[in-house]
């Protein structure tokens, strides 16, 4: 009925345009990177807001021509017919904490990239390997690696990497302290439940806790595992499976967290170590880790639902026969 561009994303102008239809309007937008402010503004005004899953939405409305006018009209038609594939609107009050955790993870990955660059530099110049040792501080290792290089420009590159790594260490530690402080005050019960799982420490526990938000938003354990990218959808026709799809639909942070937990769990727990060995002999290491990650995710789902801690004996007894 109305199509209009709102310059500068001015929400007050938007409210004036929709005033004649305010009594029965619902706002819907695709789940891109810029939906936060719109969801919050609609909530403050008491306007129903629907967040459309961008990947699923792309599969529903197709056409030769694509622009804002056509896309908005199709989204409106899909919303009217109740065919919008919805995405979860993460609560505004918890969103900054999740963003803080994701920023910490980004710093960790960038720090790992710099450490890898240093190791590759030694290989590139055919220099002897310098082992880092068990020391918590990297200063002795830094000094030893720096002494291997003679060219002043190579040493300058290394010093730049070292300085950045040290700064990442400081920022990561600062963010971890703040995240743990918040969690101890707000979500200690669920956090303790997650920490009872072998392989899940503070960082993985924080990741799982804040990427899930509320476990009750998943009606079934199958929905939860699908969201964690631990299962793939199938392409089927007339009862025959033609292939798999949807491996990248879901939450990549949860997939990473459960795969890391699967690798660490078999080191920490003797019962899980034996179970993991059996899976490895039958399926191979890569598939065995994926199966273990899926099993841990299933356990975490019911643990958070029932507020119960992890029982390794019960876990192994339940899955050993199936393995």
pLDDT (tens digit per residue) in 245-258: 666 778 999 999 99
- Region 157-169: what's the mean pLDDT? 94
What residues pair up with 185 in beta bridges, in sequence order? none
- Region 80-102: what's the mean pLDDT? 92
pLDDT at 239: 67
pLDDT at 59: 63
Statement: residue 169 has pLDDT above 80: yes
Q: How far apart are CA 224 and CA 204, in angstroms?
A: 17
What are the tokens at 81?
């017919």
Q: Tell me, rounded to whole angstroms, the distance of Cα 238 from its chain centroid.
A: 35
pLDDT tens-digit profile of 266-296? Answer: 887 777 888 888 888 888 888 889 988 999 9
pLDDT at 67: 81
- Region 100-129: what's the mean pLDDT? 92
Instruction: Please count the other Cβ atoms lying within 10 Å of the Cβ belonging to residue 107.
Output: 16
């Amino acid at each position: 009925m109305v199509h209009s561009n709102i310059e500068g994303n001015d929400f007050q102008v938007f409210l004036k345009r929709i005033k004649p239809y305010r009594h029965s309007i619902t706002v819907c937008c695709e789940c891109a990177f810029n939906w936060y402010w719109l969801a919050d503004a609609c909530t403050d005004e008491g306007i129903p807001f629907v967040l459309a899953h961008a990947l699923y939405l792309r599969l529903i409305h197709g056409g030769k021509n694509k622009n804002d006018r056509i896309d908005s009209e199709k989204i409106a038609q899909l919303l009217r017919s109740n065919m919008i594939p919805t995405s979860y609107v993460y609560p505004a009050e918890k969103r900054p904490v999740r963003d803080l955790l994701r920023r910490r993870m980004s710093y960790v990955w960038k720090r790992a990239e710099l450490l890898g660059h240093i190791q590759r530099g030694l290989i590139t110049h055919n220099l002897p390997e310098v082992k880092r040792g068990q020391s918590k501080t990297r200063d002795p290792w830094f000094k030893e690696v720096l002494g291997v290089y003679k060219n002043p420009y190579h040493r300058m590159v290394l010093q730049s990497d070292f300085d950045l790594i040290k700064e990442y260490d400081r920022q990561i530690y600062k963010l971890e302290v703040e995240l743990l402080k918040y969690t101890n005050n707000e979500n200690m019960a669920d956090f303790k439940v997650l920490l009872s799982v072998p392989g899940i420490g503070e960082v993985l526990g924080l990741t799982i806790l804040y990427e899930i938000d509320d476990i009750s938003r998943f009606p079934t354990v199958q929905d939860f595992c699908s969201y964690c990218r631990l299962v793939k959808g199938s392409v089927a026709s007339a009862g025959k499976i033609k292939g798999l799809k949807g491996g990248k639909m879901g939450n990549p942070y949860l997939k990473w967290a459960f795969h890391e937990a699967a690798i660490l769990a078999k080191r920490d727990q003797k019962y899980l170590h034996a179970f993991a060995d059996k899976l490895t002999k039958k399926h191979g290491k890569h598939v065995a880790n994926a199966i273990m990650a899926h099993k841990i995710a299933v356990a975490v789902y019911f643990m958070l639902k029932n507020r119960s801690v992890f029982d390794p004996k019960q876990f192994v007894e339940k899955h050993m026969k199936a393995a």
